[in-house]
Chain A
Amino acid sequence: MPTMDLPEDTDPVVLLTYVSQAKVLMVGAGGIGCELLKNLALTGFGEIHIVDLDTIDLSNLNRQFLFRHEHIKKSKALVAKEAAESFNPNVKIEAHHANIKDAQFNLEWFRGFKLVFNALDNLEARRHVNKMCLAADVPLIESGTTGFNGQVQVIKKGVTACYDCATKDVPKSFPVCTIRSTPSQPIHCIVWAKSYLLNEVFGISEDEAAFDHSTDADNAKEIAELKKEAEALRIIRESVGTAEFPKMLFDKVFKADIDRLRSMEEMWQSRQKPEPLDYDVLKPKTPAVTPELLQDGQKLWSLEENLAVMNDSLDRLSKRVAELKAAGTAQPTITFDKDDGDTLDFVAAAANIRSSIFGIERKSRFDIKQMAGNIIPAIATTNAIVAGLCVLESFKVLQGEYEKTKEVFLSPFATQRLLSADKPQPPNPNCPVCSVYQTNVYVDLSRATLKDLVGDFVRLQLGYGDKELAVSTEAGVLYDPEEEDNLSKKLGELGIMQGTFVTIVDEDDDDVFVNVVLNIQEATQDSSQAQKEPTKESNGVNSDGDATVKDLKRAREDEGDVPPTKKAKTSGADDDDVVLVGDEPSTGGAILIDDD
């Protein structure tokens, strides 16, 4: 006979004890974060740490209820802590106005938490916390909202899928020639205004990420021309703030550059040629810039109105540059921010003028803001639902009941099931992030070379033998069969520090090992661990060697193998697991490993 889901095996007193003793981390104090902090505090969580690098903006106030108008420009983490404490003096909250990627938030620090909540708004930080939680083996509750949609997911190493088990969409980049020479859609002109023009005039030169710079025989010449064009624009930048500047800029980008493009006949055989504009003809026709004009973001501005807004925004931006200079900044820069009206007006007007030149439809500033700013709609209600779901999942995680956890989705289109809960997905055996073998390695960074690491540790210790392999860090490839120059360099010289993750990828075609991620821990020659366990080196090598190779064998679906991460030991840093390797064992060795 079917029964209700009942919390019968959840003794409320036991749960309350778990909750009150839990020290948890909340990354992000924005939309979900404000709600979550309130719920955690009132649920009785003992100690809550908050990390957020952001400051409060006017556009947050429609949902981030711990913040008021007077808090604008202050730290989200600090204001959230103060607000929550004032309502609930019993809760212990620690706030960090900092980037979660900072070195201070290392693995050791992550290990101090019973549970981590992600309440973030960007892919990069989510991926980072996911990686740290996997390495520290701390459970993570990941959440996100977009408008009426939301999602909550529990991530536990070796048990559930991690954030990167399914590939995520990455922001789109456009071919540089489409943006700079042959735009055909409004978005091309918006990217041009935001990532090229604004940056060349007020920011830090080209926004590289927005462009795909791949060259081929067809576009090599044009790309060389575009470089010259950008250099010429940088010279005009010298005149920012002068009365002549608006005309100089206009003549350059809306006339001279367009004339040059028109002269490339082969480019326009099947496209409509762009029509350059004449400043002296257009300027007398521009209307006065009134507050009404600027406040109506929905209106489609005429060409003349766009020029008026462009010149007005140039004036505002130039004054800001002058003020920054006066305040002592040698080379002031202004970068695009969708909520910074001056930059938004500039981008909207410049994009629309360029659209007119290329016969592309113009857009309202409201639409351009969304297209340029990558705006994600956000409301209080969805955040309230998602934050509540996060806390419900945390109860199961605290009691170790991962089989009961749910991956919950909210969708406005499924009106019959506002919330749908699914069983968590298992880890993807080919996930580049969680299906790797992770281990700590203790290294004397000032002495150990890459050769010590590759030759002695990876090949001998881990059993790679003479396999082809590649070694890389976030900065790039350090070693592979074609790149051996770094072998003699010290690890410190290669940018490897305490906490760096070094990835070993097997490049053989047969019997491929899973990727190995080494978490580098600094240990000098006289570090206590090295001294305490000097005799482990030979024993450790042999006894752990076989097991390691077995662990590294890639799971084969046809054999129904369990993903290797599940086989990996999960004990913490235990002295017994410390293995010493190195070619100079008598001097204490340069590399130590502990199984994680």
Chain B
Amino acid sequence: MTEIVMSQTPPILHGPSDKEKKYDRQLRLWAASGQAALESANILLVNSGCGTVGVETLKNLVLPGIGRFTIVDEAVVQNADLGVNFFLDETCLGKLRSKCCTELLQELNPDVQGEWFPKQPGTVDLDQILLNSPTYTLIMYTMPISSKDLAALKEYGQKHHTPLFAIHSAGFYSYFNIQLPGTFPIVDTHPEAERTIDLRLTKPWPELAHFAESMTKDMDQLDDHEHGHLPYVVLLLHYLEKWKETHDGKLPTEYKAKLEGEENFQEAVAAVNRNIKEQTLESTLGEVFSHEASGNVDAKSSFWVIARAIKEFHRKHGCLPLPGGLPDMKAQSSVYVKLQGLYKAKARKDSQEVLEIAKSLSGGEDVDSAEVDLFCKNASFVKLVNATTGDQDLTKTYEEQKENDSLAEVTMMPLSLFPIYLALSATTHEPAASVDQIKASAYSRLPAAADDMRISQACEEVARAAGGELHNISALTGGMVAQEAIKIITKQYIPIDNTCIFDGIASRCQILRL
């Protein structure tokens, strides 16, 4: 028998914290920074109608752990609610829907704070609530909504720079629309991993060029193992250099695989098309630069200070700061580690230079180096959402959609879902309007629609729903709305711009800027 040694000290708290464990699967998507943003978010839901889509959306935000939420909802729970709202049961009948939903949502996640209005059955004064509450990070409202409340929310959104989400679900149809207060830059866009690899093969910096040269100068003398373990980065740099020697220092304009040999040579061939390219700016970053030049930006925001610094860096060097990552490749581990070190060191140096430029700019004194690092790492993929301002012209959008539809048979593209938006939005204030009322409202907004059969059919379908929500459609829509809300709160990934229309009959959706 072996002796068991039992420790006498009391057990200490082991392993990652409970919170880290609970949120582990989502931290893999938006990391601690995204989680912190969620946890400080304060969200308002102005709920109405059947109220399902609003509550389903909140459910999907309470689970991942937003800081707090408030439900404003005048309704008292009725029998009809029980059929479409999962969280309400018979014991809720006759009670305030806002209170019942708040309590049941809070049960889902004790870390989240919940608040509801009104406190007593009756009407609510939305202006008072907005005035007396801590600033909301994001506001969602469901249709139907009164013109007065809508105006109050829009005013609040402008004043406090609060994004607004309009959500409408009826029958098999739904849409949601995101109204952002001005341009919305996103640095951490999470591009697909293979797109982010930047090896600088056409423009190696001296240390990298020297390293490649030293490894390949007696290439033919290497033994088989060493030859078979030359990293493909080194191989490509070597052959590009040889090409330039015989072509007046110019780069090849066309690449055909001519290398044959061991696995590392095959890797090199595979990497040619992906990794040898002229340094060009991604169009999204070009948009950021030109927007910066327009002067129509908040000069004090750290985003725009760093953007200016990066633009200056680009002007000076003809390329962006190096992201610094190196993909896996066949190589001896000591060589790989050295190569990795070269890329990391260059990325640090570039980031440092950007930081120095930023600090020299007005408003850049307090720029944070971590923010600069992140920006440099993602520079190619920084995205500006809501860059174009001003109201979209509904007639113009409609004409464009009709034009696309007329070519649909040739292009094999699905038909536009614009009619669903037009028909649903005709019931923004009047959910149970008649077919004629819905059509009249739609045609008054868009006279050209009067003889469009698809719009007429969509209006009939919306009238048939009579403002009623189907749980399944609202649950699905709530998933989509919450997904976009998370992107906006965490400022990660690219949110839709700006309206998503869902057709539950065809199981598809379309994004339009409206």
A contact set with B: CB distance below 8 Å: 1-7, 35, 38-39, 41-43, 58-59, 61-63, 65, 68-69, 86-88, 147-148, 184-185, 238-243, 269-272, 289-291, 294-295, 297-298, 315-316, 318-319, 322, 339, 341-342, 344-345, 358-361, 365-366, 369-370, 375-385, 387-389, 391-393, 406, 408, 412-413, 415-421
Contacts and interface: CB of A to CB of B under 8 A. Distances in A.
A339 B4 contact: no
A412 B471 contact: no
Contact of B482 (A147, A238, A270, A384): A384
B229 interface: yes
A298 B4 CA distance: 33
A2 B414 CA distance: 11
B3 interface: yes
17 contacts: A39-B475, A58-B22, A62-B64, A63-B26, A148-B493, A184-B333, A294-B16, A295-B20, A366-B27, A378-B25, A379-B26, A387-B476, A388-B479, A413-B192, A418-B509, A419-B507, A419-B508
Contact of B25 (A5, A62, A344, A408): A62
A39 B472 contact: yes
Given A59-B24, A342-B14, A387-B475, 20 more contacts: A2-B454, A3-B457, A42-B83, A43-B472, A62-B22, A63-B26, A184-B333, A243-B5, A270-B229, A289-B12, A291-B13, A295-B20, A341-B14, A359-B334, A377-B28, A379-B29, A384-B60, A406-B508, A408-B508, A417-B510
Given A377-B25, A380-B63, A412-B493, A319 B479 contact: no
A127 to B, nearest CB: 24
Contact of A185 (B7, B28, B328): B328
Interface stretch (B84-92, B138-146, B211-219): B84-92
Given A38-B86, A358-B333, A297 B28 contact: no
B107 interface: yes
A370 B333 contact: no
A381 B15 contact: no
Contacts of A421: 414, 506-508
A385 B480 contact: yes
A344 B7 CA distance: 21
B59 interface: yes
Contacts of B395: none
Contacts of A419: 502, 507-509
Contact of B500 (A315, A339, A418): A418
A461 B331 CA distance: 59
A86 B107 CA distance: 15
A382 B509 contact: no
Given A272-B333, A388-B473, A370 B28 contact: yes
A297 B20 CA distance: 9
A379 B64 contact: yes
B155 interface: no
Q: Which one of A69, A184, A369 has the greatest number of beta carbons of chain B within 10 Å?
A: A184
A482 to B, nearest CB: 35
A144 to B, nearest CB: 14
A241 B405 CA distance: 74
B21 interface: yes
Nearest to B470: A43
Given A87-B89, A342-B14, A381 B472 contact: no
A359 B60 contact: no
Given A59-B25, A270-B229, A42 B508 contact: no
A267 to B, nearest CB: 11
A3 B458 CA distance: 9
A545 B302 CA distance: 80
B36 to A, nearest CB: 13
A289 B12 CA distance: 10
A389 B473 CA distance: 9
A294 B14 contact: yes
B130 interface: no
A4 B172 contact: no
Contact of B84 (A42, A184, A315, A377): A42
B144 to A, nearest CB: 22
Contacts of A5: 503, 505-506
B511 interface: yes
A239 B2 contact: yes
B486 interface: yes
B483 interface: yes
B332 interface: yes
Nearest to B485: A381
- A-B pairs with lowest CB-CB distance, top 4: A388-B476, A341-B15, A384-B479, A385-B479
Interface in B470-500: 470-473, 475-480, 482-483, 486, 493-497, 500
B332 A270 contact: yes
A346 to B, nearest CB: 11
B21 A148 contact: no
A22 to B, nearest CB: 14
A365 B21 CA distance: 13
A379 B486 CA distance: 11
A375 B408 CA distance: 41
A370 B27 CA distance: 11
B350 interface: no
Contacts of A366: 27
A377 B29 contact: yes
A298 B2 CA distance: 37
Given A388-B476, A418-B480, A43 B471 contact: yes
B271 interface: no
B504 interface: yes
A147 B29 contact: yes
Nearest to A375: B28
A402 to B, nearest CB: 14
The CB with the most chain A CB atoms within 10 A, among B13, B457, B505, B507, is that of B507
Contact of A271 (B332, B478, B495): B332
Nearest to A420: B508
A341 B16 contact: yes
Nearest to B226: A270
A440 to B, nearest CB: 36
Contacts of A388: 472-473, 475-477, 479
Nearest to A316: B14
B483 A381 contact: yes
Contacts of A385: 476, 479-480, 483
Nearest to A240: B2
B15 A344 contact: yes
Given A241-B4, A272-B333, A392-B507, A1 B64 contact: no
A387 B172 CA distance: 15
A191 B487 CA distance: 34
A5 B502 CA distance: 12
A297 B6 CA distance: 27
Contacts of A384: 56, 60, 475-476, 478-479, 482
Contacts of B340: 361
B471 A378 contact: no
Contacts of B220: none
A6 B28 contact: no
A298 B25 contact: no
B14 A4 contact: no
Contacts of A39: 471-472, 475
B28 A4 contact: no
Nearest to A315: B7
B496 A418 contact: yes
Contacts of A147: 28-29
Given A389-B507, A421-B506, A65 B479 contact: no
A6 B64 contact: no
A375 B24 contact: yes
B324 to A, nearest CB: 14
A55 to B, nearest CB: 15
Interface in B68-107: 83-84, 86-87, 89, 107
A360 B453 CA distance: 67
Interface in B344-386: none
Interface string B182-214: 000000001010000000000000000000000
